A and B are shown apart, each in its own frame.
Chain A
Amino acid sequence: MSILNDKVQREKDQVRENGDPIGWDGQMLQEMLAETERLTEETGYYRGLEELELKEEDRFQYERLFSRLRGALVSARETALHVSASPIVREIGELCFQIYTPEGDCIALSTGIIVHVHTGSLAIKWMIEQDYEGDRGIEPGDIFCNNDNDLGNVHTTDVHTIVPIFHDGELVAWADGVTHEIDIGGAAPGHTSIVHTSRFEDGIYATCEKIGADDERFQDWKVRGERSTRTPQYWDLDEKCRIAGCHMIREAVHDVIDDVGVDTFKQFTREAVEEGRRTMESRVQERLFPGTYRNTSFAAMPFEEEGWKPEQQRDRLIHLPVEMDIDADGTMALDMEGASPQGAHSFNAAEGSMTGGLWVSLTQCLLHDGKVNDGSHYAMETHFPEGSITNPDDPQLSFHAPWGTIMPTFQSVWQNLSQAFFTRGYREEVVTGYSETSDTLQGGGTLMESMAQLIPDEIGDYFPIGPFDLSCQGLGASAVRDGLDYGYAMWNPESDMGDIEEWELTQWGTQYLSRQIKTDSAGHGKYRGGSGWEGIMTIMGTDELTLYKGAQPDVTFSIGGMSGGYPGSTKYTVRAHDTDLQERAANEEPYPIGDTPPGTFEEDVDGDIVRHHRGNYFPKEFDNYDLVHFQMGGGPGWGDPLDRPIEKVVEDVEEQVYSPGTVESVYGVVGELDEDELTFEIDEAATDERREEIRARRREESMTYDEFYEQERERVEEGDVSEPVATMYERTFDISDEFAETFADFWDTRGGF
Chain B
Amino acid sequence: MSTDDAEREPSLLALDTGGTMTDTFVVDDGANYTVGKAQTTPEDESEGVMRSFADALDHWNTDLDTGSRSLEGVVYSGTAMINRLLEREGEEDIGLITNRGMEDQLRFGRGIQSWADRSYAGRLHAREHEHPEPLVPRENIRGVRGRMNMSGIPTIGLYEDEAREAVHDLLDRGVRVICVCLVYSYLNDDHEQRVKEIAHEVMAERGEEVPVWLSAEQKPIRGEVPRMNTLVIEAYAAEPSREQLHNVRDAFRDQGSDAPVRVLTSSGGTVSPDHDWLADTMLSGPIGGIFGGEYVADELGIDNLVCSDVGGTSFDVGLITEGHYPTRWDQSLAQFLVNIPMTAMDTIGSGTGSYVRVDHTSKRIEVGPDSAGYLVGASNQDADIDTPTVTDCTLLLGYLSPDEFLGGDIPLSLDDAREALEREVSGPLDEDVHETARGVLDIVERDMANELRGLILGLGYSPENYTLISYGGGGPLHAAGYTRDLQFQDVLVPQWAAAFSAFGTACADAAYRYDQQLDAILQPDFSNAPIVASDVQSTLEELEEKATDAFERDGVDPDVVEFQPALRIQYLGMLDDLEVAIPPEALEGGFDGDALRTVIDRYEEKFDQVFKRAAKSPENGYQVTMAIGVGVGPSAKPDIPEEPLGSETPPEAAHKGERDIYWDDDWHAAQLWQMRDLAPGNVIDGAAVIEAPATTVLVPPGFSAELDENRIYHLTEDDQ
Chain A interface (Cβ < 8 Å from any Cβ of B): 59-60, 63-64, 67-68, 71, 74-75, 78-85, 87, 90-91, 111, 114, 233-234, 237, 240-241, 244, 247-248, 259, 275, 278-279, 282-283, 286, 363-365, 368-371, 428-429, 431, 451, 454-456, 458-459, 471-472, 475, 478, 484-488, 493-502, 504-505, 508, 511-517, 533, 536, 540-541, 581, 585-586, 588, 590-591, 593-594, 655-656, 676-678
Bound together, the chains give a CA A283 to CA B364 distance in angstroms of 13
16 A–B contact pairs at CB < 8 A?
A59-B429, A90-B576, A248-B613, A364-B126, A369-B359, A369-B362, A370-B124, A429-B127, A431-B126, A472-B108, A475-B127, A494-B123, A501-B186, A504-B150, A512-B102, A678-B139
Bound together, the chains give a CA A455 to CA B114 distance in angstroms of 36
Bound together, the chains give a CA A582 to CA B411 distance in angstroms of 76
Query: Beta-carbon contacts of B131-163 to A below 8 Å, as 1s and 0s?
Result: 100000111000101010111000111011110
If A237-B573, A516-B104 touch, does A472 touch B111 (CB 8 Å cutoff)?
yes
Which of B222-230, B277-285, B554-562 lies at the interface?
B222-230
Bound together, the chains give a CA A514 to CA B104 distance in angstroms of 9
Bound together, the chains give a CA A590 to CA B101 distance in angstroms of 11
Q: Is the CB of A487 within 8 A of B131?
A: yes
Residue of B whose beta carbon sits closest to that of A507: B150
Query: Beta-carbon contacts of B153-188 to A below 8 Å, as 1s and 0s?
Result: 001110111100000010000000000000110100
A240 to chain B, nearest CB (A): 5
B100, B123, B130, B458: which contacts A484 (Cβ < 8 A)? B130
A368, A459, A581, A676: which contacts B621 (Cβ < 8 A)? A459
Bound together, the chains give a CA A504 to CA B611 distance in angstroms of 26
A71, A80, A511: which contacts B147 (Cβ < 8 A)? A511
Query: Beta-carbon contacts of B2-41 to A below 8 Å, as 1s and 0s?
Result: 0000000000000000000000000000000000000000
B439, B574, B620: which contacts A63 (Cβ < 8 A)? B439
Interface residues of B in 459-474 (CB under 8 A from A): none
Which of B372-380, B412-420, B447-455, B695-703 lies at the interface?
B447-455
Query: Which residues of chain A are near B574, meaning CB under 8 Å?
Result: 83, 85, 237
Query: Which residues of chain B are near A485, meaning CB under 8 Å?
Result: 131
Bound together, the chains give a CA A594 to CA B365 distance in angstroms of 52
Q: Is the CB of B611 within 8 A of A486?
A: no
Query: Which residues of chain A are near B138, meaning CB under 8 Å?
Result: 655-656, 678
Q: Is the CB of A456 within 8 A of B147?
A: no
The answer to whether B442 has its CB under 8 Å from any CB of chain A is yes
Q: Is the CB of B108 within 8 A of A588?
A: no
Q: Is the CB of A456 within 8 A of B126?
A: no
Interface residue count on the B side (C-beta < 8 Å): 88
B114 to chain A, nearest CB (A): 4
Q: Is the CB of A515 within 8 A of B104?
A: yes
Residue of A whose beta carbon sits closest to that of B438: A60
If A68-B446, A364-B127, A513-B101 touch, does A241 touch B614 (CB 8 Å cutoff)?
yes
Q: Is the CB of A497 within 8 A of B127?
A: no
Q: Is the CB of A593 within 8 A of B101?
A: yes
Query: Which residues of chain A are near B121, meaning CB under 8 Å?
Result: 368-370
**Which of A85, A247, A495 is the most central at the interface, judged by chain B CB atoms within 10 Å of its CB?**
A85
Query: Which residues of chain A are near B621, meaning CB under 8 Å?
Result: 456, 458-459
Q: Is the CB of B159 within 8 A of A493?
A: no
The answer to whether B381 has its CB under 8 Å from any CB of chain A is no
Query: Which residues of chain A are near B615, meaning CB under 8 Å?
Result: 240
6 tightest Cβ-Cβ pairs between the two chains A and B: A514-B101, A593-B101, A83-B614, A75-B454, A71-B450, A456-B621
Residue of B whose beta carbon sits closest to that of A363: B124
Q: Is the CB of B572 within 8 A of A459?
A: yes
Query: Which residues of chain B are near A275, meaning CB under 8 Å?
Result: 362
Residue of A whose beta carbon sits closest to that of B186: A501
Query: Beta-carbon contacts of B298-310 to A below 8 Å, as 1s and 0s?
Result: 0000000000000
A265 to chain B, nearest CB (A): 16
The answer to whether B334 has its CB under 8 Å from any CB of chain A is no
B579 to chain A, nearest CB (A): 14
Query: Beta-carbon contacts of B30-59 to A below 8 Å, as 1s and 0s?
Result: 000000000000000000000000000000
If A85-B573, A485-B131, A590-B145 touch, does A497 touch B112 (CB 8 Å cutoff)?
yes
A90, A279, A371, A493: which contacts B129 (Cβ < 8 A)? A493
B429, B450, B610, B620: which contacts A82 (Cβ < 8 A)? B610
A456, A511, A515, A676: which contacts B155 (Cβ < 8 A)? A511
Bound together, the chains give a CA A478 to CA B130 distance in angstroms of 13
Query: Which residues of chain A are near B614, meaning CB under 8 Å?
Result: 82-83, 237, 240-241, 244
Query: Which residues of chain B are near A233, meaning CB under 8 Å?
Result: 573, 620
Q: Is the CB of B617 within 8 A of A501?
A: no
A531 to chain B, nearest CB (A): 10
A63, A80, A497: which contacts B365 (Cβ < 8 A)? A63
Q: Is the CB of A279 within 8 A of B613?
A: no
A663 to chain B, nearest CB (A): 17
Q: Is the CB of A500 within 8 A of B102?
A: yes
Query: Which residues of chain B are near A533, meaning CB under 8 Å?
Result: 104, 108
B105, B110, B145, B620: which contacts A459 (Cβ < 8 A)? B620
Q: Is the CB of A364 within 8 A of B125?
A: yes
Q: Is the CB of A497 within 8 A of B613?
A: no
Bound together, the chains give a CA A135 to CA B446 distance in angstroms of 42
Query: Which residues of chain B are near A501, meaning CB under 8 Å?
Result: 150, 183-184, 186, 222-224
Q: Other than the known A71-B453, A501-B186, what 11 A-B pairs have Cβ atoms closer than 8 Å?
A: A63-B364, A81-B576, A83-B576, A111-B120, A370-B120, A428-B127, A488-B126, A497-B108, A497-B112, A512-B101, A593-B143
